[in-house]
Amino acid sequence: MFHSSYIEISRSALAHNITFLKAQLSPGTRFSSVIKGNAYGHGIEEFGQLAYTCGVDHFSVFSADEADRLHRVLPQDATIMIMGYIDDAELTWAIANDIEFYVFSLDRLEAAAKAAKSLRKPARIHLDLETGMNRIGLGTNELPHAADIIIKEPQAFEVVGISTHFAGAESSENEDRVTGQLNRFHLAVRSLRHKGLSIQSLHTACSAAMMAYPETHLDMVRVGIMQYGFWSSPEIYQRYMGISTDRTDPLRRLINWKSHVMSLKSVPVGEFIGYGQSFQASSDMLIAAIPVGYAWGFSRSLSNQGQVLIRSYRAPVVGIVNMNVLMVDVTGIPNVALKDEVVLLGKQGNEHITVASFAELSTQLNYELLTRLPLNIPRIVID
Ligand SMILES: *Cc1c(COP(=O)(O)O)cnc(C)c1O
């Protein structure tokens, strides 16, 4: 209520995807649901609760604020792991609330020791290793020192995991880099164990690595994009379809983004539509206004290019996408009426607006388009 558009999230599609993804895992490998970026736009609270009901009990987030949002809505037995930045105050909060977190530098390790000691409770940490992405992570030269800090403070730490992240597992172009990273990872783990560290689990794989490199599964995989029904890259999709006996895409999209017709207007031939002169009616036209614009994540680059669905027909965007309104041509669509449902993304009848087509037109990646869906569009769970 009181929103000009809303995003539906499908429970049955998620249950279907999770079943497919878990079937890809090596025996004994745990499944962690990656829900950073507001659950790739699906809404952390709504998606997290839904995934839990679909049997997911491990969640990976980027930041403490995402962890907090999830922690408020999930039962106690779900594990939450922060893979990204965490400041000093947040460390204390995380330890007190049994939130696990990555340690990617010696300074974070020392700060975690301090926080754990003052709480008299061990920090549940994952040592994130630099293996070749050159982004974040403890370098090989820092590992002996890190191990010393941990061994010196046995009350302060529980080393729940050792992790790394691959620099481009979605493209076989990067195969040498990925396998080099995995080798360096195993060498580093061996050196940490040799130092006397007790380590509970190893995890490295994102969606693409899970599909393309089964040897990266280890104790846990961290799956983001594929849960939401999208492939990491066309290559990962084609590779799977090449080895699968089934010819249909095993993933289903969860998202439908919907609005409705706000106003209808007949425009005589020759008139310009919207701001400026980018669209001129080439015949008498019927134009529908939709109360969604770039302030709501409908990119301005879809001006005169995008499409929406109304009454199971495609209606092209005409003119410039405004901040809060866009216009579409509904001239050929029978019986269009005020308040008709409009699908901006997703399915209506037999028609589909895919994120890929949407993203291609606006030159965004799946990941980017999804995470840019604004926080304040309501997410509604449907079956
Ligand atoms: C985002 C992320 C993932 C998940 O990546 P997908 O390609 O969405 O599966 C896994 N691990 C880390 C560290 C990440 O940042």
Is 275 one of the annotated active-site residues of the chain? Answer: yes
- Confirm or reject: Cβ of 225 under 6 Å from ligand 1: yes
For residues 177-206, average pLDDT: 97
Show Cβ contacts of residue 67 under 8 Å, excluding neighbours closer than 6 positions: 61, 80, 82, 94, 99
DSSP letter, residue 272:
B
Instruction: Note whether 342 and 308 are within 8 A (CB).
Output: yes
Residues 53 and 146 in one domain: yes
- Ligand 1 atom at minimal distance to the Cα of residue 367: 8
* CATH (domain of 21): 3.20.20.10
Residue of 40, 275, 339, 367 marked catalytic = 275
Q: Are residues 204 and 125 in the same domain?
A: yes
Taking the model in full, what pTM does it have? 0.93
Query: CATH number, domain at 333?
Result: 2.40.37.10
Whether 261 is in a domain gets the answer: yes
Mean pLDDT of 179-185: 98
Kindly write down the DSSP assignment for every residue of 15-56, as one continuous string: HHHHHHHHHTSPTT-EEEEE-HHHHHTT-HHHHHHHHHHTT-
Count the domains in the chain: 2
Residue 34 beta carbon below 6 angstroms from any ligand 1 atom: yes
Residues 134 and 226 in one domain: yes
Instruction: Tell me: do 42 and 179 sit in the same domain.
Output: yes
Q: What is the pLDDT of residues 74-105, one digit of tens each?
A: 999 999 999 998 999 999 999 999 999 999 99
pLDDT tens digits for 209-259? Answer: 999 999 999 999 999 999 999 999 889 999 999 988 888 899 999 999 999
Residue whose CA lies nearest to ligand 1 atom number 8: 224
Please check whether residue 364 lies inside any domain of the structure.
Answer: no
| Shortest-distance Cα residue to atom 13 of ligand 1 | 165
What is the domain range of residue 348?
255-353
Answer yes or no: do 190 and 316 share one domain.
no
**Cα separation, 12 vs 19, whole angstroms:** 11
126 lines ligand 1 (CB under 6 A): no
Mean pLDDT of 8-32: 97
